[in-house]
């Protein structure tokens, strides 16, 4: 494979260790003398915590100690907000251990440390904790009414309320020929990475407190931990090892991210905690539970004139590091990729006695696109328009770019879609699925007796959040490159994709296989912000591009002086320096590195990339489904997702991201669901009850990667590619099912759509 | 998520196992472990002693004779599914097998373990009931035969008394004129059924139904024979209309449970569909499979 | 026979004979990971659903979290570390996984490889549907399975050619 590497399906260099069992995840680390922690958790959704009887497990085999709220009362250990600091949120932050009240099943009340995991779990069964149960708040209405308060001192369960608008929605509705309004809901589910969370903390002999198992935003988390522990930031490090998936949930600052380091300091030994799957379902961020009343004003020809919406998100029991992103982004993305300028939104975030929420791949978008795209189909039906046609009449066009999406998010500046060809992305899926023919085919009686339907959905999606990212590129002694980046990795394959970028920025003079990547760990580089909001390649990759260009320029300058040639006449190729137009190698890069040293230049370059705004991708999904009206079971016969990612650095990996995201998103429509009872008990606490897609569920998933609209906001032209596959799944599937069931007069306004729920919507035929 | 402490023994004989069960009141029998091990890891079970029966060769024996099929309790799912002689002897076993769990569970899980666990949504107990199987139970006082109908008593409850061990399942010889059908609806392939049906229909030379077994599972606390529906078929030449009638009769009066995956209403509504589809498959009447 | 809480076991792991004294309650997965430091066998749920801990027991795929270490006594266990000789390349199946981008976070990968290895040993040219059925007890949250199925099919085709 030769340069340019960007754009080529380079196989992943990191795969070999994953394929041979030599990867190193946090649970694979086994420090000498490590102690093992388990956490005692509330069995109640809402209760007064009357006491933790530490003495109840004293002297049990292997027990080293117990930590309860009183042990950390002297520390400012409230977990801060990282993103979306909406007004009012500060009243509802979580402390790592509950002190006088527990607010969700699974909330940590004590930490038990023992010489083995088995001993710690044995003691956990014996630990006496006294509670006085309180009524639980589990519905939107109960939260709003506030008869029972999670935080009596706040006087409300409403964590925040705000309104946002652009244009004049009232005027738009006043001239509408048709208004479609529905109350709709999305359901609570979670990312469920296959590896649970885990952490090992140890203050080593050099006085540095090291925590292995950190990820996502290690730099921010280190700052937070420093404040909470009252220790200087440079006296600790958060180290990223291999991470078994994140999808937004893993790597946020959780109670354990304080408790395990705290325990390591208290007991003066390495302390290891690995979340078990039950704990994971109880405590790792949930997401997506939302209700909305959305109205869209249409003209008779299908033109979308304006939108009004009220969005309410169930935040669970506390405001976590990024929980506010969920309702705020749902609201922001409700208008979608359509030429609609008049929008009025009311947003509220409600506290309930459930696990707190945070972001999940495509946060808010998955819900918002479902709400809007359903209404568009309902309008099409009312107006006698084809669902594809009504969308085409309203989609943003390339000439609309940049398209202002106003100031719909209170904590962010106004934003605009940077570049986009939505009609092309839409046509790509309708052509691929053969929409024009299929829409008639599905109406015919099917030999299998099922009802078929086709569903479409369009989306716009942001990526590449700021503020900036820094990278250092070093020329190694052996002539290879070492790239140091502040982005983190949860399994995406950054080693490969970022190496491709560095290789090309270095004129292909060093192949990706000779480029190593160091990233994720907090102390590696200043000015790193981690990986979220599909920013690693867009922002992190751009910083690497700049740093590699910078090192290249420096190297050529030194070499030119040394060789008494012009820098423009020199080229880098195959690990060597060559003269333009000549095959003769002037020097190996390893040698040039020596020249740089001799010339008093360091063989490295550091650059910061600060994007001038976010990049926006767009795309469309199309679904063809068959519904068994006797069982409520749905088969997804074909599913196609397109996304215009600007520039696909590695098409193989972009495709993998899209397919994986789509299966997550489609799975969530039918399977993933976190169910609570009226007492706030989680009923889906194991993988026997919380169901995710398996290999036999959705075999026919395709993706189309488009590169029609390179971003103008970064040197790569890149946009995020990890979330477009998920954001329109509920919308497209729900539209397809609704299309199939239209002869039965069924409307789909609520998620999820498992067989039981679907069958309830299908009128029962009288027995013969 | 680690199992609580327990003592372990792996006797080499049925007598050895029975002696251990007699000596330790709260001992649990470990067969394939696909239900007991999760319960231990989740600390939902905490026996003081685990009696591992995997070292008892006799329990893995399979015999096929003119009298029928005899499966040792420890015969694993995968052996049932991949040994064509077993499915040949009792075709319902072969029809149900693809619905049972996944590869790495099938290689360990056992038919006896499934029967003794008595999940009302499990396939094997329904198959046994529809096939007139007899369970051989051994206790300190000797052996006894328990017909399938008297074996499953309710959710996770069987006729196995404390100190007893299920040692084998006997299936009577399968008549050449017997057809079988199996249908279930589950959340995903391999999951326990929300509701399902296992049926057999014996046909005379003229196509008249001479006998039938219709078993619903997942529709109540244990698999149940639906005798009124069976009676409706007897003496008739089955056609689509008759199947609909029988299916509807089969679901009458059931009082299904509600759980996370399916409400009682769902099960009530889908039960006759499963019966109809199982019968349609058994009788090769594809038109009866379709919604009317 | 007296039940005991600790037992001596001898078994073969990746072709080598291993003898240890283990607590009765130790799972085979924990034994492999903690005692033998074979950490390629992953724990994703510890209640037998996710398949990340799948290993081969006498050539057949089993959940290592649902077996006790003592139950492996006298048996032969193969883990992902045993698929390739130390320091030596990739099997055709592993290479196909890399070629098809069937790996993202890698956490499910060893379990997938073990299950697929057993499948191909018993059925060298499976249909895509058979591959999907065989792998349906192994959860992957990253790939959507499409590339994993392609990789297994490709490895099978390659072996046939």
| CB-CB neighbors (< 8 A) of B273 in chain A | 630-631
Phi-psi region for residue A287, left (φ > 0), alpha (ψ -120 to 50) or beta? beta
Any idea what the CATH number is for the domain that residue C47 is in? 3.10.20.30
The answer to whether residue C87 is domain-embedded is no
How far is C-alpha B106 from the chain's CA centre? Answer: 14
Select from C25, C131, C136 the Cβ nearest to the Cβ of A694: C136
The answer to whether residue C53 is domain-embedded is yes
Same domain, B91 and B119: yes
Distance CA B171, CA A533 (A): 60
Q: Are A734 and A755 in contact (CB under 8 A)?
A: no
Residues 212-271 of A with CB under 8 A from B: none
Give the count of domains, chain C.
2
Same domain, B44 and B93: no
The residue among C21, C55, C82 that closes a domain is: C82
Confidence (pLDDT) at A409: 97
Span B183-207, average pLDDT: 97
Confidence (pLDDT) at A766: 62
Same domain, C37 and C104: no
* Boundaries of every domain in chain A: 15-22+466-609, 31-134+196-243+250-283, 286-464+613-761
DSSP-based three-state secondary structure for A63: strand
Select from B11, B33, B54 the Cβ nearest to the Cβ of C66: B33
Residue with tokens 């499963």: B274
Sign of the alpha-carbon dihedral angle for C41, C44, C47, C52 = negative
A46 to A78, A103, A132, A134: CA distances (angstroms): 20, 5, 9, 5
Chains within contact range of chain A (3+ C-beta pairs < 8 Å)? B, C
Nearest CA-CA distance, residue B140 and chain A, Å: 34
Beta strand A47-53 pairing with A101-102: antiparallel
SS (H, E, C) A158-184: EEEEEEEEECCHHHHHHCCCEEEEEEE
Residue C35 structural domain: 6-82
Same domain, C66 and C110: no
Give the count of domains, chain B.
3
A594, two tokens: 């020596």
Strand positions, DSSP E, B122-238: 134-139, 142-147, 152-154, 157-158, 165-172, 178-186, 193-203, 209-217, 224-225
Same domain, C74 and C25: yes
Same domain, C18 and C59: yes
Q: Looking at the complex, does the CB of residue C27 fall below 8 Å from at least one CB of chain A?
A: no
Angle at the Cα of B155 from the Cα atoms of B151 and B159, rounded to 5 degrees:
25
Phi-psi region for residue B40, left (φ > 0), alpha (ψ -120 to 50) or beta? alpha
Select from B187, B189, B269 the Cβ nearest to the Cβ of A764: B269
Confidence (pLDDT) at A768: 46
Same domain, C78 and C10: yes
Residues 45-64 of C with CB under 8 A from A: 45-47, 49-50, 52
Residue C3 and residue B24: Cβ atoms within 8 Å? Answer: yes
Residue of chain C whose alpha carbon sits nearest to that of A12: C98
Q: Are A395 and A422 in contact (CB under 8 A)?
A: yes
The answer to whether residue B1 is domain-embedded is no
The answer to whether residue C152 is domain-embedded is yes
Q: How confident is the model at residue B110 (pLDDT cuts 50, 70, 90)?
A: very high
Residue B211 structural domain: 179-287
Same domain, B134 and B215: no
The answer to whether residue C1 is domain-embedded is no
What is the architecture, at CATH level 2, of domain A286-464+613-761?
Answer: 2-Layer Sandwich (3.30)
Among B56, B102, B187, the residue to mutate for chain C (most C Cβ within 10 A): B102
Residue C4 and residue B37: Cβ atoms within 8 Å? Answer: no
Same domain, C97 and C152: yes
Distance CA A748, CA A740 (A): 11
Same domain, C76 and C103: no
Residues in chain A predicted with pLDDT less than 50, given as ranges, are 768
Q: Looking at the complex, does the CB of residue B108 fall below 8 Å from at least one CB of chain C?
A: yes
The answer to whether residue B87 is domain-embedded is yes
Same domain, C26 and C63: yes
Residue B270 and residue A121: Cβ atoms within 8 Å? Answer: no
Residue with tokens 């680390």: A29
Same domain, B63 and B106: yes
| CB-CB neighbors (< 8 A) of A760 in chain B | 263, 265-266
Residue C119 and residue B103: Cβ atoms within 8 Å? Answer: yes
Distance CA B289, CA B281 (A): 8
Same domain, B43 and B94: no
Strand partners, A313: A290, A349
Nearest CA-CA distance, residue A695 and chain B, Å: 9
Which helix (H) or strand (E) segment is A349 a member of?
Answer: strand A342-350
The answer to whether residue C118 is domain-embedded is yes
Q: Looking at the complex, does the CB of residue C127 fall below 8 Å from at least one CB of chain A?
A: no
Same domain, B197 and B157: no
Residues in chain C predicted with pLDDT less than 50, given as ranges, are none
Q: Torsions phi, psi of A334, nearest 5?
A: -60, -45
The answer to whether residue B2 is domain-embedded is no
Same domain, B187 and B239: yes
Q: Looking at the complex, does the CB of residue A118 fall below 8 Å from at least one CB of chain B?
A: yes
Residue A194 and residue C139: Cβ atoms within 8 Å? Answer: yes
Same domain, C104 and C155: yes
Same domain, B214 and B236: yes
Same domain, C77 and C35: yes
Residue of chain C whose alpha carbon sits nearest to that of A702: C146
Residue of chain B whose alpha carbon sits nearest to that of A277: B1
Fold exhibited by the domain A15-22+466-609: Aldehyde Oxidoreductase; domain 4 (3.30.365)
Residue of chain A whose alpha carbon sits nearest to that of B185: A631
Strand partners, A52: A129
Nearest CA-CA distance, residue C33 and chain B, Å: 14
* Helical axes C109-122 vs C92-99, angle rounded to 10°: 130
Same domain, C149 and C111: yes
Same domain, C15 and C76: yes
Same domain, B145 and B203: no
Any idea what the CATH number is for the domain that residue B212 is in? 3.30.390.50
Residue B185 and residue A756: Cβ atoms within 8 Å? Answer: no
CATH among 1.10.1740.10, 2.60.40.1180, 2.60.40.10, 3.90.1170.50 for A31-134+196-243+250-283: 3.90.1170.50
Q: Is the ipTM of this complex over 0.95?
A: yes
The residue among C59, C82, C105 that closes a domain is: C82
Same domain, B278 and B189: yes
The answer to whether residue C50 is domain-embedded is yes
Q: How confident is the model at residue B290 (pLDDT cuts 50, 70, 90)?
A: confident
CA atoms within 13 A on the CB side of C17: 3
Same domain, B183 and B164: no
Confidence (pLDDT) at A288: 98
Same domain, B72 and B158: yes
Is there a shared CATH topology between the A15-22+466-609 domain and the A286-464+613-761 domain?
yes
Any idea what the CATH number is for the domain that residue B26 is in? 3.30.43.10
- Give the pLDDT confidence of A452-508 residue by residue, as tens digits: 999 999 999 999 988 999 999 999 999 999 999 999 999 999 999 999 999 999 999
Select from B244, B265, B266 the Cβ nearest to the Cβ of A768: B244
Q: What is the mean pLDDT of chain B?
A: 97
Distance CA C30, CA B248 (A): 51
Phi-psi region for residue B156, left (φ > 0), alpha (ψ -120 to 50) or beta? left
The residue among C44, C62, C82 that closes a domain is: C82
């Amino acid at each position: 494979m030769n340069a340019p590497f960007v754009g080529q399906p380079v196989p992943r260099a990191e795969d070999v260790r994953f394929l041979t069992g030599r990867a190193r995840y946090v649970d694979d680390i086994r420090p000498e003398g490590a102690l093992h922690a388990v956490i005692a958790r509330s069995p109640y959704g809402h209760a007064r915590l009357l006491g933790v009887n530490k003495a109840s497990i004293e002297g049990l085999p292997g027990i080293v100690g117990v930590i309860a709220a009183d042990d950390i009362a002297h520390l400012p250990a409230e977990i801060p907000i990282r993103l979306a600091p909406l007004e009012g949120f500060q009243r509802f932050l979580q402390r790592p251990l509950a002190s006088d009240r527990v607010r969700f099943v699974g909330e940590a009340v004590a930490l038990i440390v023992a010489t083995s995991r088995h001993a710690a779990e044995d003691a956990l069964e014996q630990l006496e904790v006294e509670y006085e149960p309180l009524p639980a708040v589990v519905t939107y209405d109960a939260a709003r009414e506030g008869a029972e308060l999670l935080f009596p001192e706040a006087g409300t369960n409403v964590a925040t309320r705000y309104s946002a608008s652009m244009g004049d929605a009232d005027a738009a509705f006043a001239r509408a020929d048709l208004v479609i309004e529905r109350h709709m809901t999305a359901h609570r589910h979670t990312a469920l990475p296959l590896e649970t969370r885990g952490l090992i903390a140890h203050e080593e002999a050099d006085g540095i407190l090291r925590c292995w198992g950190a990820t996502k935003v290690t730099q921010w988390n280190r700052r937070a931990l420093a404040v909470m522990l009252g220790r200087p930031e440079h006296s600790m490090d958060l180290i990223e090892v291999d991470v078994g998936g994140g999808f937004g949930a893993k790597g946020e600052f959780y109670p354990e991210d304080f408790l395990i380091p705290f325990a390591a300091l208290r007991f003066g030994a390495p302390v290891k905690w690995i979340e078990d799957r039950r704990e994971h379902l109880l405590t790792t961020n949930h997401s997506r539970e939302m209700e909305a009343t959305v109205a869209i004003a249409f003209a008779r020809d299908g033109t979308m004139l304006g939108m009004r919406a009220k969005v309410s998100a169930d935040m669970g029991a506390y405001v976590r590091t990024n929980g506010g992103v969920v309702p705020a982004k749902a609201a922001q993305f409700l208008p979608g990729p359509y030429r609609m300028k008049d929008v009025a939104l009311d947003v509220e975030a409600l506290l309930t006695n459930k696990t707190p929420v945070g972001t999940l791949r495509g946060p808010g978008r998955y819900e918002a696109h479902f709400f809007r795209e359903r209404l568009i189909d309902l309008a099409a039906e009312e107006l006698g328009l084809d669902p594809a046609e009504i969308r085409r009449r309203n989609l943003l066009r390339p000439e609309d770019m940049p398209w202002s999406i106003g100031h719909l998010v209170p904590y962010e500046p106004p934003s605009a879609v940077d570049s986009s060809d939505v009609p092309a992305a839409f046509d790509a899926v309708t052509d691929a699925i053969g929409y024009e023919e299929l829409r008639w085919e599905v109406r015919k009686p099917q030999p299998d007796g099922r009802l078929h339907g086709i569903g479409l959905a369009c989306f716009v999606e942001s990526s590449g959040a700021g503020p900036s990212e820094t990278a250092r590129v070093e020329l190694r002694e052996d002539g290879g490159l070492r790239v140091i980046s502040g982005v983190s990795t949860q399994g995406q394959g950054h080693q490969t994709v970022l190496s491709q970028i560095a290789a090309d920025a270095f004129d292909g003079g060093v192949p990706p296989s000779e480029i190593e990547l160091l990233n994720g760990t907090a102390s590696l580089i200043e000015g790193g912000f981690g990986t979220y909001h599909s920013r690693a390649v867009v922002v992190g990759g751009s910083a690497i591009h700049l740093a590699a260009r910078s090192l290249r320029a420096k190297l050529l300058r030194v070499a030119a002086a040394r060789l008494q040639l012009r820098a423009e006449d020199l080229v880098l190729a195959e690990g060597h320096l060559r003269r333009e137009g000549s095959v003769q190698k002037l020097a190996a890069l390893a040698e040039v590195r020596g020249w740089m040293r001799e010339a008093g230049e360091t063989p490295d370059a550091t650059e910061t990339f600060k994007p001038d705004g976010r990049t926006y991708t767009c795309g469309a999904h199309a679904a063809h489904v068959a519904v068994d009206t006797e069982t409520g079971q749905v088969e997804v016969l074909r599913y196609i997702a397109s996304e215009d990612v600007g520039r696909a650095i590695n098409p193989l990996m972009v495709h993998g991201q899209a397919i994986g995201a789509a299966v997550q998103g489609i799975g969530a429509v039918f399977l993933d669901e976190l169910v609570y009872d009226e007492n706030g008990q989680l009923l889906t606490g194991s993988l026997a009850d919380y169901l995710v897609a398996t290999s036999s569920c959705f075999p026919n998933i395709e993706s189309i990667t488009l590169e029609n609209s390179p971003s103008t906001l970064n040197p790569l032209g890149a946009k995020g590619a990890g979330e477009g596959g998920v954001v329109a799944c509920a919308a497209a599937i729900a539209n397809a099912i609704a299309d199939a069931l239209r002869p039965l007069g069924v409307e789909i306004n609520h998620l999820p759509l498992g067989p039981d729920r679907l069958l309830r919507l299908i009128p029962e035929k009288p027995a013969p | 998520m680690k199992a609580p402490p327990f003592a372990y023994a792996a006797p080499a004989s049925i007598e050895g196992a029975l002696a251990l069960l007699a000596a330790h009141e709260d001992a649990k029998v470990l067969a394939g472990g696909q239900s007991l091990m999760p319960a231990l890891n989740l600390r939902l079970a905490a026996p003081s002693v685990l009696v591992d029966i995997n070292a008892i060769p006799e329990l893995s024996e399979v015999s096929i004779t003119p009298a029928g099929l005899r499966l040792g309790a420890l015969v694993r799912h995968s052996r049932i599914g991949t040994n064509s002689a077993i499915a040949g002897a009792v075709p319902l076993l072969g029809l149900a097998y693809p619905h049972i769990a996944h590869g790495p569970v099938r290689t360990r899980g056992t038919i006896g373990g499934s029967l003794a666990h008595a999940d009302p949504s499990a396939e094997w107990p329904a198959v046994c009931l529809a096939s007139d199987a007899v369970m051989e139970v051994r206790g300190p006082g000797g052996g006894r035969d328990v017909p399938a109908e008297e074996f499953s008593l309710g959710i996770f409850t069987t006729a196995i008394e404390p100190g007893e061990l299920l040692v084998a399942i006997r299936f009577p010889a399968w008549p050449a004129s017997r057809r079988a059908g199996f249908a279930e609806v589950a959340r995903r392939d391999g999951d326990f059924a929300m509701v399902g049906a296992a049926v057999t229909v014996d046909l005379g030379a003229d196509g008249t139904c001479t006998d039938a077994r219709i078993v619903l599972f997942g529709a109540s606390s244990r698999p149940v024979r639906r005798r009124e529906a069976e009676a409706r078929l007897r003496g008739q030449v089955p056609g689509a209309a008759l199947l609909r009638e029988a299916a509807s009769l089969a679901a009458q009066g059931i009082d299904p449970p509600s759980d996370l995956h399916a409400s009682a209403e769902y099960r009530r509504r889908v039960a006759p569909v499963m019966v109809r589809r199982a019968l349609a498959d058994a009788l090769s009447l594809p038109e009866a499979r379709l919604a009317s | 026979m007296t039940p005991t809480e600790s037992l001596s076991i001898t078994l073969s792991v990746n072709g080598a004979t291993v003898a240890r004294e283990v607590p009765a309650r130790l799972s085979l997965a924990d034994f492999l990971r903690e005692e033998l430091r074979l950490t390629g066998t992953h724990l994703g749920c510890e209640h037998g659903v996710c398949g990340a801990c799948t290993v081969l027991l006498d050539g057949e795929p089993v959940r290592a979290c649902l077996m006790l270490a003592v139950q492996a006594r006298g048996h032969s266990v193969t883990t992902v570390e045993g698929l390739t000789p130390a320091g030596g390349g990739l099997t055709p199946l592993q290479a196909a996984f890399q070629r098809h981008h069937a790996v993202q976070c890698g956490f499910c990968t060893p379990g997938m490889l073990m299950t697929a290895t057993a499948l191909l040993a018993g059925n060298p040219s499976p249909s895509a549907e058979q591959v999907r059925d065989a792998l349906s007890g192994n959860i992957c949250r990253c790939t959507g399975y499409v590339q994993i199925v392609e990789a297994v099919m490709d490895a099978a085709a390659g072996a046939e050619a």
